[in-house]
Amino acid sequence: MLLIPCPWCGERDESEFTYGGSAERAMPALDGKAGMRDWHAFVHVRDNPRGQHCEYWHHSHGCERWLIVERDTLTHGIAEVHDAALSSDDRA
Amino acid sequence: MRERQDNRLPEGGRIDRTKPLHFSFDGSAFTGYAGDTLASALLAGGVRLTARSFKYHRPRGVMTAGSEEPNMLVRADGRPNLRATEIPLHDGLVATSQNRWPNRRFDVGAIMGLLSPFIGAGFYYKTFMAPAGAWPFYERFIRRAAGLGRAPDGRDAGRFSHRHAHSDVLVVGAGPAGLAAALAAARTGARTVICDERALPGGGLNWLTARIDGSLAADWAGAAAVELAPLTGTTAFAVHDGNLVLMEQRLGPADRCLWKLRARTIVLASGAVERPIVFPGNDRPGIMLASAVRTYVRQYAVRPGRRAVIVTNNDSGYDAIVDLAAAGIETAAVVELQPACSAAPRAKAAGIPLHEGARIEATSGRQSLTGITVAAGGRIACDLVCMAGGWTPSLQLYAQRRGRLRFDSILGAHVPEDAHAPMLVAGAAAGHLTLAECLVGGWAAGRAAAEQCGFAASQDKAFDVDSAELAGRDGSARLPGAFLLQARQRSFVDFQGDVTAKDIALAHGEGFSAIEHLKRYTTAGMGTDQGKTGNINALALAAELSGVPAAEIGHTTFRPPVSPVSFGAIAGEAAGPLIAPTRRTPFYGASSRARAVFVNSDLWVYPRYFPLQGESMRDAVRREVETTRSAAGMCDMSSLGKVDVQGADALAFIERVYCNNLGKLKPGKVRYSLMLREDGIVLDDGTVTCLAENHYLLTLTTAHSGRVWLHLEKLRQVHWPELDVKLASVTDHWASLALAGPCARKILAALGPDFDLDNEAFPVLSMREGEVAGLPARVFRVSFSGELGFEINVPAGFASALWQRLSEAGRPLGLAPYGLEALDVMRIEKGHVVIGSEIDGRTTPGDLGLERMVSQTKDFVGRALLARPALQAEGRHQFVGLKPRDGASPIPVGSQITAAPWTGAPQEAQGHLTASVFSPALGQPIALAMIADGRKRLSETVWTASPIAEKSIEVEIVPPQFYDPDGSRMRA
Amino acid sequence: MAPVFPPDRRYSIGGLIRHGLRRRPDWPPAWRKASPKTSYDVVIIGGGGHGLATAYYLARNHGIRDVLVIERGWIGGGNTGRNTTIIRSDYLLEASGRLKEFALKMWEGLSGELNYNLMVSQRGWVDLAHSDAELEAFTLRANATRLRGTDARILNREELARRVPVLDISPDARFPIAGALVQERGGTARHDAVAWGFARGADALGVHIAEGRPATGIEVDQGKVTAVIANGERIAAGQVVISVAGHSSEVARMAGIELPLESGALQAFVSEPVKPVIDAVVSYNAGFSYVSQTDKGEVVIGGQPEGYNTYAARGSFIRIEEAARRAIAMFPFLAGMRLMRQWGGIIDVTMDGNAIVGPSPVDGLYLNAGWGYTGFKATPAVGWTLAETLATGKPHDLLRPFSLERFATGALIDDAGAGPYPYAH
């Protein structure tokens, strides 16, 4: 069972978290400029890599922060975990 | 006389002869001792034929002394398929053999043996196809013939628990290597847990003749156990990510505890299992593993036979000579598969005839072994065969963690390979078979494990080991496949599955040579013994047939569990009523006292209706609706999600989240609002209340509140961290009671609120904060029922007080509580859409008739994809109402909508019903539905079709707002 | 035309007896292990049930025999060998229901068609409802199913108690059972046999099956597929089918295609075998778990998918616990039985939970992906309709709703109403 190192709470068992899907694409801004194509790409299209994957986990039974986790989808090894809100500058 | 123990040795063994235990097997009474297993006690009692095999119903006896036992499965204390070698004897144990009728000595099923040429591996794929559709007929017999034991009769009487633990070091296996490892680790101060699947720790130390540091091996084990307090009868059956180890602990005959242990490091000292030898006729009662015979002799003081033959392909077979002699068993011969063996002098020294390079042609004895025939040696009379076919390290846990294995062709089995191993492996599990190696290697592994956890390395330990055992390594010699295949008698590879060498050859010939195909086609390794004794032999034979070295043929995937685990243990205490949490609202007590009948709604337990004495549900619901519409009713609304939104960007946030415009919402105002998914489909509906500038309160539907909460937080934290806004989930902070009906204002007034209740001062869709009935309160003028309504929210702790005071104030005016059923009836009459019925994860605002709520002036979540062509197309199912044409026929729930009545022939559906009730307000049945282009088809006639209810009703499409369509009652 | 097996290859009771009387049974190999040529009319990537069935029907229905099925491991080793063998067709939405009913009708005659006993056992599918509201929703689904001409019934508690006597319907349960939707024609089929049966049939019709050959590249030239690269060999192909379940994204990527799906894990487990005790497939719907009993006597139990992206084909013990608890809630005697074997598979779930079957943006390249945990029951139908799609160049009528484009157009087929979150389906 996954052990996710929450930056706020430490290493916690997967049962404390809720998965939130791929973090590989940024949501289009709600400024009226993004159209159907951009949103379709964001909502539907996926890399779904067999290997390093960037994904969201919510620490539901802990600090309730959304985290960005870099995890290998084959070995389940976790490389990095960031608080999503605090690391927003680094992502496209 | 059964109660005598004819085959019990007069002394010795790790049994307590002061504690005789009485048990029964197949109705006969026996006696054993504390420390016995069911298998050892039955052997002591002279019982040889203890089982019938799965397919051919061949007479079988016990073959091993451990969890690898393939044959001796019994039903004991109501549970099927237990291995008699693993059941600690207890007083009053009642056990029966399985898979035989009428009894194990005379089993009608043995006729299957005669059919054996025709029912080899995979035979069922080749037949039972004709006549067409006849399979169910054949299947009945196949199913009855299959299965081992019989399912338990009722609820299990065991108590099951779960335990969570952490340790620095976990040592799996308390044999010599494991005990040494645990001692090394524990003495550094590392928190060390050691477990062993057997009831008595020590493993081989309990039956080997040796001295360690001057003490008898068994005594040394005992002392170590005192120091370490191992978990006995505890099988570590799985290792998961993050070194989460799952163990099943047997606490007495019936109770089980499932351990979930996070270990920082693991030392695997799970030993090795001896292999049987594949030769013709190798499955009769009395043919056992050599190590098992030695175990029964030394640990249990049992004599499994009188005259033995050792069949061996490695040195360790010769170690049995001394133990057999000590038990007074005559060793008639040593049959050695290798052309020459270095241990041969041992046999000669003991005066035992030795057959080297031997080929076993057959065995004899119907219900019990009587002899074995060796080519160029003739028939040797015997009632016991000790098979020493080499050793297979038990590496299941290692392989579960994807540790790499290497096939050691001398050992004839897989050993750990990795430099970057997921766990340390020591002792026989690592392919080290001598006692000295196990102790030294175990100690080193325990030291290393403790070091990995940061505990200072303890000293190296030298063990003074005095032992005569040879512990042979070379276990690769086998009888050639061609030889086995031309023999008359079958050579068993997987004993439990009755898989023979011939089956493997058959599978191979048909192209099932990939090891996984071989396993599935022949079922080798798929029995309850997990192939522990059979897999390597199957693999080796397959390799020989394929003409490749065994090292190249691969192996099947190792998956949990290492040994079968009780479902009761897996479920633990969270079974039955605790299978899921039960959520109650703050009004649960009050509702109960008001005699509510409750219903499950997801995890919630909710009042469904409040029957008066003797009232049926239908009557109660009707009364509740009529009371609410004519006087007043009160309904618990507490489970609705509530989210508090604050911050300078609070409005910006909710504008992005909801599809309707909220910019003009002033403090004290409420708006019904719609939230869309990112793809434009309706996610949730609820209310948005402006509490103050930059301060809002959102309500979410009960069913979706958890999901929507996550969605809102994700938007806030992940996608819009630049917004200055904070959310708080306040669902459980507030108890919420809806007060609805023409008398609602009067009743509310009687509670002495400190704000004006006048329709001008407190119009519909607004909120007032203050005091009601002496309690701090927020009152929302919203109405789900369609009547004049006030939703009174008080802090949750005041729920009972509110209920009580409201009831008192309302009683003179006829106020009555109503539940979910009545609420649903009223919302149907009003044509309100709800989650689950109309909002079903596929509908758009337009489908629901709410397209006017969709803002044309702002961007919001879901806007772009809502514009997708299929979501705006003609022919989409739209929300409408239905009335039966005859004004009286009830419309069956779950009906589909069709153009013509249903006659039994397939028809296209034009839509479906989302709700159907008898409307007290209209005095007739009504329904809600989603119908293709419904809004363009008002007053059209269609049919509802319910093949289930066998009813088709002619209906008229009408607007869904049946009752008070202009909302005047609500606005009063 | 279905393959006609010559007497020494035809499976029958007579054949069993004949071979059994010989010293050594010498049934010929069920399928040849082909070495691929350098070019084929059709190359199917993926030797699972779907891929093999497609190959079979290409040859059988359309006479297209120059077909190669290329499989990276051993045939049927993916989800075909890991599912819990359920077949049924009681789906709410038209598109799902029609395709699966087409499959169910095919299942009924498939053993005879393939001359391979697939052990198609229509012992009944029982879907439990835990409240009157749920039963109402099930009634809707049952009516939709019946309207299509397919069988479905709704049972109340008393009828359910008679139908499955060992089921616990006590009103004191945490989630008491209110009734069930039953499809008597639903049941199980032996999963391994399906792969082997189609392989044998396809092989007999001349199809090549090559195992142990992972596809490593797909050649696309000016928008048209031209070849598949496997094991370092280039295999020219007129048409290519990608039918690799959990690895769909990886293989589609080779042709420059991104798919709206994600791969996750689904676990299942079996008990030690016991004599017959559960004779239907029963599904529990408060939290999720479903139970059946194989012809070997093992009780098969499945539960919820892991809910996060993974290619590891394994999951956490939590799911096993949750499924076991619900299985025991249905059949309390299970507490005294033991879990004997567990396994996992990689399921690819799309953004609406339904499959993508049909043409891809690359000319000549066809997709069969996103079946999630519902692919096994559709196997023969997928083979039949996809073969027709390839042969005629136009999507089969039943496959039209399952287009890749539907996510862009909004014509979704979302049976569960769960939305574009694979982990929620």
User: For C291-350, how does the pLDDT look when each residue is reduced to its tens digit (9 = 90+)?
Assistant: 999 999 999 999 999 999 999 999 999 999 999 999 999 999 999 999 999 999 999 999
User: From chain A, which residues contact C within 8 Å (Cβ)?
Assistant: 1-2, 14-15, 19, 21-22, 36, 40, 43-50, 53, 55, 57, 73-76
What is the Cα–Cα distance from C227 to C43, expressed in whole angstroms? Answer: 8
**What token pair was written down for B480?**
């050639």
Domain of residue C406: give its range: 33-121+185-260+351-425
Question: Could you tell me if B668 and B661 are in contact, meaning their C-beta atoms sit under 8 angstroms apart?
Answer: no
Residues of A in contact with B679 (CB under 8 A): 39, 43-44
pLDDT at residue number B129: 87
Segment B251-265 mean pLDDT: 96
* Residue contact A36–B868, C-beta within 8 A: yes
pLDDT at residue number B760: 94
Please count the structural domains in chain C: 2
**How many beta-carbon pairs under 8 angstroms link B with C?**
327
Shortest CA gap B410–chain C (Å): 28
pLDDT at residue number B706: 94
* Residue contact C295–B139, C-beta within 8 A: yes
Q: pLDDT for B313-354, tens place per residue?
A: 999 999 999 999 999 999 999 999 999 889 999 999 999 999
Residues of A in contact with B865 (CB under 8 A): 36, 39-40, 43
Residue A89: pLDDT above 70?
A: no
Residues of B in contact with C16 (CB under 8 A): 118, 123, 126-127
CA distances from C215 to C120, C220, C227, C370 (A): 32, 14, 11, 19
Interface test with B, best of A30, A59, A68 (most B CBs within 10 A): A30
Q: pLDDT for A32-60, tens place per residue?
A: 999 999 999 999 999 999 999 999 999 99
* Residue contact A66–B868, C-beta within 8 A: no
Q: Any idea what the CATH number is for the domain that residue A87 is in? A: 3.30.2270.10
pLDDT band at A90 (very low <50, low <70, confident <90, very high): low
What is the Cα–Cα distance from B928 to B951, expressed in whole angstroms? Answer: 17
Segment A60-85 mean pLDDT: 96
pLDDT at residue number A92: 42
Q: pLDDT for B473-497, tens place per residue?
A: 889 999 999 999 999 999 999 999 9
* Residue contact B580–C133, C-beta within 8 A: no
Closest residue to C143, CB basis, from B560, B572, B948: B948
Q: pLDDT for B637-649, tens place per residue?
A: 999 999 999 999 9
Q: pLDDT for B346-357, tens place per residue?
A: 999 999 999 999
Q: pLDDT for B725-768, tens place per residue?
A: 999 999 999 999 999 999 999 999 999 999 999 999 999 999 99
Instruction: List Cβ neighbours of B68 (8 Å cut-off, separation of 6 or more).
Output: B273, B529, B532, B533
Domain of residue A88: give its range: 19-26+49-92
DSSP state of B963: S
pLDDT band at A88 (very low <50, low <70, confident <90, very high): low
Whether residues C314 and C362 share a domain: the answer is no
Whether residues C276 and C340 share a domain: the answer is yes
Please count the structural domains in chain A: 1
* Residue contact C321–B681, C-beta within 8 A: no
* Residue contact A46–C423, C-beta within 8 A: no
Q: What is the pTM of this model?
A: 0.96
With respect to residue C19, please indicate whether it lies within any of the assigned structural domains. no
Whether residues C112 and C152 share a domain: the answer is no
pLDDT at residue number B736: 97
Residues of B in contact with C121 (CB under 8 A): 135-136, 139
Whether residues C424 and C340 share a domain: the answer is no
Segment B28-35 mean pLDDT: 96
Average pLDDT of chain C? Answer: 96
Segment C99-128 mean pLDDT: 97
Residue C21: pLDDT above 90?
A: no
CA distances from B548 to B405, B414, B554, B557, C29 (A): 18, 16, 11, 20, 19
Residue B3: pLDDT above 90?
A: no
**What token pair was written down for B788?**
């004049």
With respect to residue C39, please indicate whether it lies within any of the assigned structural domains. yes
With respect to residue C199, please indicate whether it lies within any of the assigned structural domains. yes
Segment B612-627 mean pLDDT: 96
Percent above pLDDT 90 for chain B: 92
Percent above pLDDT 70 for chain B: 99
Instruction: List Cβ neighbours of B872 (8 Å cut-off, separation of 6 or more).
Output: B846, B866
Chain B residue with minimal CA distance to A27? B719
pLDDT band at B377 (very low <50, low <70, confident <90, very high): confident
Q: pLDDT for C148-204, tens place per residue?
A: 999 999 999 999 999 999 999 999 999 999 999 999 999 999 999 999 999 999 999
Whether residues C295 and C399 share a domain: the answer is no
Chains that touch A (3 or more CB pairs under 8 A): B, C
Question: Could you tell me if B343 and B358 are in contact, meaning their C-beta atoms sit under 8 angstroms apart?
Answer: no
Chain B residue with minimal CA distance to C78? B516
What is the Cα–Cα distance from B814 to B807, expressed in whole angstroms? Answer: 9
With respect to residue A86, please indicate whether it lies within any of the assigned structural domains. yes
Whether residues C340 and C358 share a domain: the answer is no
Residue B1: pLDDT above 50?
A: no
| ipTM (interface pTM) | 0.97
Whether residues C115 and C198 share a domain: the answer is yes
Closest residue to C11, CB basis, from B81, B127, B841: B127
pLDDT at residue number B458: 66
Shortest CA gap B261–chain C (Å): 13
Whether residues C423 and C367 share a domain: the answer is yes
Whether residues C211 and C115 share a domain: the answer is yes
Higher-pLDDT residue of C8, C369: C369
Whether residues C345 and C232 share a domain: the answer is no
Whether residues C200 and C166 share a domain: the answer is no
Average pLDDT of chain B? Answer: 95
Q: Name the domain boundary from C316, C349, C382.
A: C349
Q: pLDDT for C354-412, tens place per residue?
A: 999 999 999 999 999 999 999 999 999 999 999 999 999 999 999 999 999 999 999 99
Whether residues C170 and C205 share a domain: the answer is no
Shortest CA gap C316–chain A (Å): 5
Residue B115: enclosing H or E segment and its boundaries?
none
Shortest CA gap B926–chain A (Å): 39
* Residue contact B521–C328, C-beta within 8 A: no
Shortest CA gap A22–chain B (Å): 12
Output the 3-class SS for chain C.
CCCCCCCCCCCCHHHHHHHHHCCCCCCCCCCCCCCCCCEEEEEEECCCHHHHHHHHHHHHHHCCCCEEEECCCCCCCCHHHCCCCEECCCCCCHHHHHHHHHHHHHHHHHHHHHCCCCCCECCCEEEEECCHHHHHHHHHHHHHHHHCCCCCEEEEHHHHHHHCCCCCCCCCCCCCCCEEEEECCCEECCHHHHHHHHHHHHHHCCCEEECCCCEEEEEEECCEEEEEEECCEEEEEEEEEECCHHHHHHHHHCCCCCECEEEEEEEEEEECCECCCCCCEEEECCCCEEEEECCCCCEEEECCCCCCECCCCCCCHHHHHHHHHHHHHHCHHHHHCEEEEEEEEEEEEECCCCCEEEECCCECEEEEECECCCCHHHHHHHHHHHHHHHHHCCCCHHHHHHCCCHHHHCCCCCCCCCCCCHHHC
With respect to residue C8, please indicate whether it lies within any of the assigned structural domains. no
* Residue contact A39–B718, C-beta within 8 A: no
Question: Could you tell me if C267 and C320 are in contact, meaning their C-beta atoms sit under 8 angstroms apart?
Answer: yes
Shortest CA gap B137–chain C (Å): 10
* Residue contact C143–B559, C-beta within 8 A: no
Enumerate the β-bridge partners of residue B777: B770
With respect to residue A12, please indicate whether it lies within any of the assigned structural domains. no
Q: Name the domain boundary from C322, C349, C376.
A: C349
With respect to residue C6, please indicate whether it lies within any of the assigned structural domains. no
What string of DSSP letters covers B594-659? TTPEEEEETTEEEEEE-PPTT--HHHHHHHHHHHHHHS-EEEE-TTSEEEEEESTTHHHHHHHHBS
With respect to residue A33, please indicate whether it lies within any of the assigned structural domains. no
Range of weakest confidence among B262-276, B771-785, B946-960, C7-21: C7-21
- Using the Cβ of C321 and the Cβ atoms of chain A, whether some distance falls under 8 Å is answered with no
Shortest CA gap B201–chain A (Å): 29
Q: Name the domain boundary from C349, C374, C399.
A: C349
Q: pLDDT for B547-599, tens place per residue?
A: 999 999 888 888 999 999 999 999 999 988 899 999 999 999 999 999 999 99
Interface test with C, best of B948, B950, B952, B953 (most C CBs within 10 A): B948
Residues of B in contact with A56 (CB under 8 A): 714, 718
With respect to residue C5, please indicate whether it lies within any of the assigned structural domains. no
Q: Any idea what the CATH number is for the domain that residue C168 is in? A: 3.30.9.10
Interface test with A, best of B649, B718, B720, B856 (most A CBs within 10 A): B718
